[in-house]
Protein backbone atom coordinates (compact mmCIF):
# COMPACT_ATOMS: atom_id res chain seq x y z
CA UNK A 1 0.00 0.00 0.00
CA UNK A 2 1.10 3.57 -0.68
CA UNK A 3 1.16 5.74 2.43
CA UNK A 4 1.20 9.50 1.95
CA UNK A 5 3.53 11.34 4.33
CA UNK A 6 2.53 15.00 4.20
CA UNK A 7 5.53 17.29 3.69
CA UNK A 8 4.80 20.85 4.80
CA UNK A 9 8.31 21.64 6.00
CA UNK A 10 7.87 20.87 9.70
CA UNK A 11 7.95 17.10 9.95
CA UNK A 12 10.26 14.29 10.94
CA UNK A 13 9.80 12.95 7.44
CA UNK A 14 12.73 10.58 7.10
CA UNK A 15 11.98 8.71 10.34
CA UNK A 16 8.25 8.44 9.57
CA UNK A 17 8.85 7.26 5.99
CA UNK A 18 11.45 4.79 7.23
CA UNK A 19 9.04 3.30 9.76
CA UNK A 20 6.36 2.93 7.08
CA UNK A 21 8.81 1.17 4.76
CA UNK A 22 10.03 -1.08 7.57
CA UNK A 23 6.43 -2.30 7.85
CA UNK A 24 6.47 -3.26 4.17
CA UNK A 25 4.60 -0.31 2.66
CA UNK A 26 5.63 2.38 0.17
CA UNK A 27 6.04 5.85 1.68
CA UNK A 28 5.14 8.72 -0.65
CA UNK A 29 6.50 11.97 0.79
CA UNK A 30 4.87 14.98 -0.85
CA UNK A 31 3.29 18.41 -0.40
CA UNK A 32 1.14 17.97 -3.53
CA UNK A 33 -2.47 16.89 -2.81
CA UNK A 34 -2.63 15.31 -6.29
CA UNK A 35 0.29 13.04 -5.40
CA UNK A 36 -1.08 12.31 -1.93
CA UNK A 37 -4.39 11.31 -3.53
CA UNK A 38 -2.66 8.15 -4.79
CA UNK A 39 -2.11 6.99 -1.20
CA UNK A 40 -4.49 4.75 0.71
CA UNK A 41 -3.53 6.22 4.11
CA UNK A 42 -2.11 9.59 5.16
CA UNK A 43 0.31 10.59 7.92
CA UNK A 44 0.64 14.21 9.03
CA UNK A 45 3.88 14.48 11.05
CA UNK A 46 5.09 17.68 12.64
CA UNK A 47 7.60 19.37 14.90
CA UNK A 48 7.38 23.06 15.76
CA UNK A 49 4.86 25.80 16.46
CA UNK A 50 1.14 25.52 15.73
CA UNK A 51 0.83 28.83 13.85
CA UNK A 52 3.79 27.99 11.61
CA UNK A 53 2.24 24.62 10.81
CA UNK A 54 -1.11 26.07 9.81
CA UNK A 55 0.56 28.84 7.80
CA UNK A 56 2.62 26.33 5.82
CA UNK A 57 -0.35 24.01 5.23
CA UNK A 58 -2.40 26.96 3.97
CA UNK A 59 0.34 28.29 1.69
CA UNK A 60 0.79 24.87 0.08
CA UNK A 61 -2.94 24.39 -0.50
CA UNK A 62 -2.94 21.44 1.87
CA UNK A 63 -5.75 22.64 4.15
CA UNK A 64 -8.33 22.24 1.39
CA UNK A 65 -6.45 19.42 -0.31
CA UNK A 66 -6.29 17.26 2.81
CA UNK A 67 -9.90 18.09 3.69
CA UNK A 68 -11.01 16.70 0.33
CA UNK A 69 -8.98 13.53 0.78
CA UNK A 70 -10.04 12.92 4.39
CA UNK A 71 -13.68 14.05 4.34
CA UNK A 72 -14.76 13.44 0.73
CA UNK A 73 -12.55 10.48 -0.18
CA UNK A 74 -12.53 8.94 3.30
CA UNK A 75 -8.75 8.56 3.59
CA UNK A 76 -7.67 7.60 7.11
CA UNK A 77 -5.13 10.04 8.53
CA UNK A 78 -2.74 9.88 11.48
CA UNK A 79 -1.42 13.13 12.94
CA UNK A 80 1.81 12.86 14.94
CA UNK A 81 2.82 15.39 17.63
CA UNK A 82 2.29 18.83 16.01
CA UNK A 83 0.39 17.02 13.26
CA UNK A 84 -2.04 15.72 15.88
CA UNK A 85 -2.40 19.17 17.43
CA UNK A 86 -3.22 20.69 14.03
CA UNK A 87 -6.28 18.42 13.87
CA UNK A 88 -7.82 20.46 16.70
CA UNK A 89 -10.18 23.42 16.45
CA UNK A 90 -7.75 25.98 17.85
CA UNK A 91 -4.53 26.57 19.79
CA UNK A 92 -3.40 29.23 22.25
CA UNK A 93 0.30 28.77 21.45
CA UNK A 94 1.71 32.32 21.09
CA UNK A 95 -1.81 33.74 20.65
CA UNK A 96 -5.03 32.20 19.38
CA UNK A 97 -4.83 30.31 16.08
CA UNK A 98 -7.39 28.27 14.16
CA UNK A 99 -6.56 24.66 13.39
CA UNK A 100 -8.03 22.20 10.90
CA UNK A 101 -11.03 21.69 13.19
CA UNK A 102 -11.36 17.96 12.57
CA UNK A 103 -11.17 17.16 16.30
CA UNK A 104 -13.33 19.19 18.69
CA UNK A 105 -10.45 20.24 20.93
CA UNK A 106 -8.23 23.10 21.97
CA UNK A 107 -4.45 22.94 22.22
CA UNK A 108 -3.13 24.47 25.45
CA UNK A 109 0.23 24.67 27.20
CA UNK A 110 1.03 21.94 29.71
CA UNK A 111 0.64 23.40 33.20
CA UNK A 112 3.94 22.97 35.09
CA UNK A 113 3.64 20.70 38.12
CA UNK A 114 6.08 20.22 40.99
CA UNK A 115 8.92 18.00 39.85
CA UNK A 116 7.92 18.08 36.16
CA UNK A 117 9.61 20.20 33.51
CA UNK A 118 8.00 21.66 30.42
CA UNK A 119 8.60 20.68 27.66
CA UNK A 120 7.66 17.06 28.33
CA UNK A 121 10.56 15.16 26.78
CA UNK A 122 11.21 11.45 27.05
CA UNK A 123 9.51 8.12 27.61
CA UNK A 124 6.16 7.89 29.36
CA UNK A 125 3.72 5.09 30.09
CA UNK A 126 0.48 5.29 28.10
CA UNK A 127 -2.93 3.94 29.15
CA UNK A 128 -5.38 3.31 26.34
CA UNK A 129 -8.99 2.30 25.87
CA UNK A 130 -9.17 -1.46 25.99
CA UNK A 131 -11.15 -1.78 22.76
CA UNK A 132 -8.86 0.57 20.83
CA UNK A 133 -8.01 -0.55 17.29
CA UNK A 134 -5.02 1.81 17.33
CA UNK A 135 -3.52 0.09 20.39
CA UNK A 136 -4.50 -3.48 19.53
CA UNK A 137 -1.92 -5.91 20.90
CA UNK A 138 -0.10 -3.15 22.81
CA UNK A 139 -0.03 -3.64 26.60
CA UNK A 140 -1.27 -1.02 29.03
CA UNK A 141 1.52 1.21 30.38
CA UNK A 142 3.67 0.64 27.29
CA UNK A 143 6.32 3.34 26.93
CA UNK A 144 6.12 5.89 24.09
CA UNK A 145 8.42 8.81 23.31
CA UNK A 146 7.11 12.37 23.81
CA UNK A 147 8.51 15.82 22.91
CA UNK A 148 5.96 18.61 23.48
CA UNK A 149 5.03 21.68 25.51
CA UNK A 150 1.36 21.81 24.46
CA UNK A 151 -1.42 19.26 24.80
CA UNK A 152 -4.74 18.43 23.14
CA UNK A 153 -7.75 19.13 25.38
CA UNK A 154 -10.87 17.50 23.92
CA UNK A 155 -14.33 18.94 24.60
CA UNK A 156 -15.75 15.43 24.20
CA UNK A 157 -13.95 12.93 26.47
CA UNK A 158 -14.96 10.07 24.17
CA UNK A 159 -12.44 11.37 21.59
CA UNK A 160 -9.56 10.67 23.99
CA UNK A 161 -8.13 7.28 23.04
CA UNK A 162 -5.16 7.24 25.42
CA UNK A 163 -3.60 9.26 28.25
CA UNK A 164 -0.38 9.51 30.21
CA UNK A 165 0.59 11.11 33.52
CA UNK A 166 2.86 14.13 33.60
CA UNK A 167 1.98 15.82 36.86
CA UNK A 168 -1.62 15.54 35.64
CA UNK A 169 -3.47 13.58 32.99
CA UNK A 170 -2.27 14.45 29.49
CA UNK A 171 -3.97 13.31 26.28
CA UNK A 172 -1.69 10.87 24.45
CA UNK A 173 -3.95 9.92 21.54
CA UNK A 174 -7.26 10.99 19.99
CA UNK A 175 -9.58 9.24 17.55
CA UNK A 176 -12.63 10.44 15.65
CA UNK A 177 -13.78 7.93 13.07
CA UNK A 178 -10.94 7.52 10.57
CA UNK A 179 -9.04 10.52 11.98
CA UNK A 180 -6.28 9.60 14.45
CA UNK A 181 -3.71 11.60 16.37
CA UNK A 182 -0.86 10.74 18.73
CA UNK A 183 0.90 13.32 20.88
CA UNK A 184 3.87 10.96 21.13
CA UNK A 185 6.15 9.93 18.27
CA UNK A 186 5.45 6.32 17.25
CA UNK A 187 8.33 6.44 14.75
CA UNK A 188 10.69 7.05 17.71
CA UNK A 189 9.01 4.58 20.07
CA UNK A 190 10.75 1.39 18.97
CA UNK A 191 8.73 -1.85 18.85
CA UNK A 192 5.47 -0.56 20.33
CA UNK A 193 5.60 2.46 18.05
CA UNK A 194 5.91 0.24 14.99
CA UNK A 195 3.04 -1.88 16.30
CA UNK A 196 0.83 1.21 16.59
CA UNK A 197 1.74 2.30 13.05
CA UNK A 198 0.96 -1.22 11.83
CA UNK A 199 -2.45 -0.99 13.52
CA UNK A 200 -3.15 2.35 11.84
CA UNK A 201 -2.13 1.03 8.45
CA UNK A 202 -4.47 -1.96 8.87
CA UNK A 203 -7.51 0.22 9.64
CA UNK A 204 -10.12 -0.22 6.90
Catalytically annotated residues: 81, 185, 187
Helices (H), the chain: 13-22, 33-36, 50-59, 62-67, 82-85, 190-202
Exposed/middle/buried for residue 103 (C-beta within 10 Å: 0-12, 13-18, 19+): buried
Residue pair 64/72 in contact (Cβ under 8 Å)? The answer is: no
Break the chain down into helix, strand, coil percent, rounded to 5.
30, 35, 35
Please give the DSSP secondary-structure letter assigned to residue 185.
B
Instruction: Determine the Cα–Cα distance for residues 65 and 49; give it in Å rounded to an integer.
Output: 21
- Stated as kind and residue range, the H or E segment containing 27 is strand 26-30
Q: How many CB atoms lie within 10 A of CB 167?
A: 15
Q: What backbone phi and psi angles, to 5 degrees, belong to 5?
A: -100, 115
Amino acid sequence: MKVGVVDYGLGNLRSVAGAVEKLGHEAVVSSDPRVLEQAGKLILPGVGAFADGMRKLTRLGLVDGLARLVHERGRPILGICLGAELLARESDEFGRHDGLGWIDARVTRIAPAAGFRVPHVGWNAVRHNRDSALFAGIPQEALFYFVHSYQICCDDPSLVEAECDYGARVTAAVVRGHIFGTQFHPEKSQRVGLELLRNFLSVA
